Amino acid sequence: MSDKLLDAYLLSGPWEQVTPNTIIDPDYLKREVLKTRELGYAVNDSEFVIGVVGAAVPVFDPAGKVIACLSISAPHVRKNLANMVHLITLLQATADKITKVLYI
């Protein structure tokens, strides 16, 4: 997402607070998006469903444009946020394989 599209989205609120952890503050959301860009992955701790953690990585086309994402979620009773972060490398490797399969 370009900076222009991100700024337009941030002006489109307010957003529904689905759980106490849902990010609805535009400034905080922008910081999280910028952090996600820098890290190359995103994590989620009960932001949409209470008691569910997740992680996601982008899937790119050959030009480097994000065309999809690959994510994994689990209930807190099975995994915590630290466990999800440990799965990022596996998710990224799988996303790279998906790109190769789609564009060979």
pLDDT band, very low/low/confident/very high, at 85 (cuts 50, 70, 90):
confident
pLDDT digits (tens, 9 = 90+) for 11-61: 998 999 999 999 999 999 999 999 999 999 999 999 999 999 999 999 999
Q: Quick one: which of 72, 73, 68 has its CA closest to 99? A: 68
Give dist(CA 33, CA 42) in Å, integer. Answer: 8
pLDDT at 34: 95
Question: pLDDT: is 103 or 90 the higher one?
Answer: 90
Of 27, 56, 23, the residue nearest 39 (C-alpha)? 56
- Lookup: tokens for 17: 């607070």
| Predicted confidence (pLDDT) at residue 80 exceeds the cutoff of 80 | yes
What does pTM read for this prediction? 0.86
Output the CA–CA distances (angstroms, integers) from residue 53 to 2, 19, 33, 36, 45, in the order listed.
27, 13, 17, 16, 5
Specify the fold of 3-103: Beta-Lactamase (3.30.450)
> What residue ranges do the domains of the chain occupy?
3-103
Q: Which two tokens stand for residue 93?
A: 């490797």
Q: Cβ atoms within 10 A of the Cβ of 70, count?
A: 18
